[in-house]
Amino acid sequence: MEKKQFPKTIDQVPMPDLVISMGCDAGCPYIGRDFDDNWHLPDPTGKGDAAFIQVMQAIEKKISVF
């Protein structure tokens, strides 16, 4: 099968229709436009699997609104 995916720089990625910050106090790169929303999700780094699952479920719930 032919490989069609490859690493891209930020200027090679099309401008997104919607940009959302996860809000976990991590620095986000500027991608050419402002964020539309900030979800203020907790950063699960250094915590157990349950913390990651909780954040994943919160993201899934928020995405389902779209």
Q: Is residue 41 assigned to a domain?
A: yes
Instruction: Show the domain range for 39.
Output: 17-64
- Quote the pLDDT of residue 51: 96
pTM here is 0.68
Contacts of 54 (CB under 8 A, 6+ apart): 44
Q: Is 90 exceeded by the pLDDT of residue 2?
A: no
Mean pLDDT of 36-59: 94
Q: Does residue 33 contact residue 14 with C-beta atoms inside 8 Å? A: no
Count of structural domains, the chain: 1
pLDDT tens-digit map of 4-45: 899 998 889 888 898 888 886 667 777 778 888 889 999 999
Enumerate the β-bridge partners of residue 37: 20
In this structure, the dihedral spanned by the alpha carbons of residues 64, 29, 33 and 31, taken in order and rounded to 10 degrees, is: -90
Q: Is residue 5 assigned to a domain?
A: no
Q: Is residue 11 assigned to a domain?
A: no
